[in-house]
Amino acid sequence: MELLESARAVLAEGPICDACLGRVFADRSHGLANAERGRALRVTLAMLDDEPLEPAGDCWVCEGQADRADEWATWAANEVADLDFETYQVGTRLPPLLEANDDLLREEAGLEPDAGESLKRELNREVGKRLGERVGGDVDFERSDVVVLLDLEADRVRVQVNPAFVYGRYRKLERGIPQTEWPCRECGGAGLTEDGEHCEYCNGEGYLYDVSVESLVAPAIREAMGGTDATFHGAGREDVDARMLGTGRPFVVEVEWPTDRFPEVDSLEAEINERAGGRAEVEGLALATYEMVERVKELPATKTYRATVRFETPPTEADLEGALAELDGATIEQRTPERVSHRRAAKVRTRKVFAIDGDLGDDGTATIEVHGEGGLYIKELLHGDGGRTEPSLAGLLGVDVEVTALDVVAVEAEEGEFADPAFLREPPARPGRDA
């Protein structure tokens, strides 16, 4: 009887549709749609009170919006028809008047402010269900591929396309190539000075290097996904004059507003490598989720380097072996190197050398291989950086050491794998997808 009395109070406020009548009591019964619940209450009260069954006018609460779920769903389906997605979410923006009506309905009927279900939530659910029936896919309230916004005030559907992600590892096969595009520090990438003059520092190019790993890899991925822009995220970065060899360095390319989230990665990998022309190459491309960006950027990693060094006075094999033995397993203190002090804060960092070995060549040079903790400055470990790194190979030998070549041969996570299977995606199996 309490439910019927509350329903009478709601009906007394003015003409109301079945959906709005039923949804304020959504928490009191289950298994029925709001419109079905409202209709059942209306029929019951019409029989008990001998009142007219149909409302005498348009619903004063939703002003007819609750009956537009099919219309909104069809409209939304048309808006996303050219997009490739697996998950979606529907949101609703109500005009202030309808939000006020929704609150007033409960207040005037003596119900709790959060009683039942709001108009916004009902539209999200009902339109979302119908949209799924039309286009397929699954609802995802955490991080969906697309977000459909029903803007009732503007009477339009807006679509937000969330980024898509491709994971892989790259090898940089030439020296003198930065990982990402490097805007000129003088003109900020404009190619012109503040006075509008030709920037001499970058020769008006806006960038200090003509090519980067990013420029060799990201454009092909962006084009394959039909995106508007792409951002390259690497698991750290090697020096411009260092190659990245061996197992390669993990990366993720983030593509904005993709129309195709599920390109064929094997052919995409081949295309990237062909375009790169031997300057870089990728392998292990896989579709990924947004969590992979943070994993690649934040997961602690160890690095293995191979360096060629030249000595001011070549050491004996015994002296070199002794110095390397002292560095093997040592904890190194490094002040911010001179070469990066213009862009990094001055501080002292401690990093571990897990293993180090080397061979002395006949020409007085040596090949040194170092497995170290992430963030260990390898060049400084070897040449000492004027005493800013302690201990160092140069300091232990008591001679000047020059690093003439440096290669990264392995980047591995300290714990687990970079390519966590939980953050990888497979193309959805949808009928007609590959037709």
- Per-residue pLDDT of 368-392, as tens digits, reads 999 999 999 999 999 999 999 999 9
Per DSSP bridges, beta strands 331-335 and 365-373 are unpaired
pTM: 0.85
Helices 119-135 and 96-108 pack at an angle, to 10 degrees, of: 120
56 pLDDT tier (thresholds 50, 70, 90):
confident
Read off the amino acid at residue 297: K
Query: Cα(115)–Cα(152) distance, rounded to whole angstroms?
Result: 23
**What residues contact 77, with CB distance under 8 A and at least 6 apart?**
131, 134, 135
Residue 343 pLDDT level (bands cut at 50, 70, 90): low
Of 330, 311, 421, nearest to 368 by C-alpha is 311
pLDDT in tens, 101-122: 999 988 888 888 888 899 999 9
Domains of the chain: 2-161 (3.30.2300.10), 164-299+418-423 (3.30.70.2510), 301-413 (3.30.70.3190)
Tell me the mean pLDDT in the region 390-408.
97
Which has more confidence, 170 or 185? 170
Residue 131: name the closest of 114, 116, 147 by CA. Answer: 147
Catalytic residue among 239, 362, 407, 420: 239
Cβ atoms of 151 and 68 closer than 8 Å: no
pLDDT, tens digit (0-9, with 9 covering 90-100), for 172-183: 999 999 999 877
Question: Residue 433's pLDDT is what?
Answer: 43
**Residue 167 pLDDT class (50, 70, 90 cuts):** very high
- Does the pLDDT at position 82 exceed 50? yes
pLDDT at 134 over 60: yes
Q: Which residues of 376-399 are buried (b: 16+ CB within 10 A; e: fewer)?
A: bbbbbbbbbbeebbebbbbbbbee
Give me the percent of the chain exceeding a pLDDT of 90.
72
Predicted local confidence at residue 57, as pLDDT: 82
Known active-site residue 70: no
How far is Cα 95 from Cα 113, in angstroms, rounded to an integer? 19
Specify which residues 14 forms β-bridges with.
none
Is the separation of the CB atoms in 223 and 258 below 8 Å? no
Question: Mean pLDDT throughout 345-356?
Answer: 91
Predicted local distance difference test score (pLDDT) of residue 435: 40
Long-range pairs, 323-326, Cβ under 8 A, ≥24: 323/393, 323/396, 323/397, 324/356, 324/357, 324/358, 324/368, 324/393, 326/391, 326/396
As a whole number of angstroms, the distance between CA 95 and CA 173 comes to 58
pLDDT at residue 162 is higher than 70 = yes
Nearest of 262, 256, 245, 253 to residue 216 by alpha carbon: 253
